[in-house]
């Protein structure tokens, strides 16, 4: 399946506008498979991106609570992280928003944040009421002042662990 030219150009523009990040150092802790999270970190969300070698990961320290630890979004390749947010690992919990809705046949999870006016939404949705059932997993980015988003869908089922996020992160309506 070919991506429309508009989406490809938008992705290129987004990457060019976002601040460059240094690649992970070769001496840094080894990464977990199909993830940009280090072995000593917890994977909150992670998957390889469809149609690309890039990976989207939301990583956390093992001691993550509402008062301590950190949460960090990473996008790119293991040898070249294109975006790491936030760069400072202090008080990261207030920089993300969490939303979860669940009922029979429906499970919707979203973690959102904003970087330089760009709105990011990590989505892990299942709607079994649709025929066929719909699953949406990945990250979408909306540029400032734009209503159209660019989506990066997961190539495989993501590794996800949202166990205590409701108590760690502010909810989307806070």
Report the alpha-carbon distance of residue 143 to residue 133 in Å, rounded. Answer: 29
pLDDT of residue 174: 56
Any bridge partners for residue 100, and if so which?
109
Query: Looking at the predicted structure, is the pLDDT value of residue 115 above 70?
Result: yes
Report the alpha-carbon distance of residue 35 to residue 29 in Å, rounded. Answer: 13
Report the alpha-carbon distance of residue 121 to residue 140 in Å, rounded. Answer: 5
pLDDT of residue 147: 86
Query: Looking at the predicted structure, is the pLDDT value of residue 15 above 70?
Result: no
Helix ranges (DSSP H) in 18-128:
none
Cα distances (angstroms) measured from residue 109 to each of 23, 165, 173: 29, 11, 14
What is residue 122's three-state secondary structure?
strand
30: pLDDT confidence band, cut at 50, 70 and 90? confident
Lowest mean per-residue pLDDT among 16-30, 68-82, 91-105, 153-167: 16-30
């Amino acid at each position: 399946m070919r991506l429309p030219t508009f989406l490809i150009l938008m992705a290129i523009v987004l990457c060019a506008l976002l601040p460059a990040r240094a690649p992970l150092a070769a001496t840094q802790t080894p990464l977990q498979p199909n993830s940009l999270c280090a072995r000593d970190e917890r994977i909150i969300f992670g998957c390889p991106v469809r149609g690309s070698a890039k990976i989207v990961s939301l990583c956390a320290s093992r001691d993550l609570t509402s008062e301590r630890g950190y949460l960090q979004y990473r996008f790119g390749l293991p040898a070249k992280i294109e975006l790491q947010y936030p760069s400072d690992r202090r008080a990261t919990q207030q920089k993300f928003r969490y939303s979860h809705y669940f009922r029979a046949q429906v499970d919707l999870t979203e973690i959102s944040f904003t970087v330089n006016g760009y709105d990011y939404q990590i989505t892990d949705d299942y709607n079994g009421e649709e025929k066929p059932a719909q699953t949406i997993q990945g990250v979408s980015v909306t540029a400032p002042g734009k209503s159209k988003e660019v989506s990066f869908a997961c190539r495989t089922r993501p590794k996800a662990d949202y166990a205590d996020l409701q108590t760690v992160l502010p909810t989307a309506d806070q």
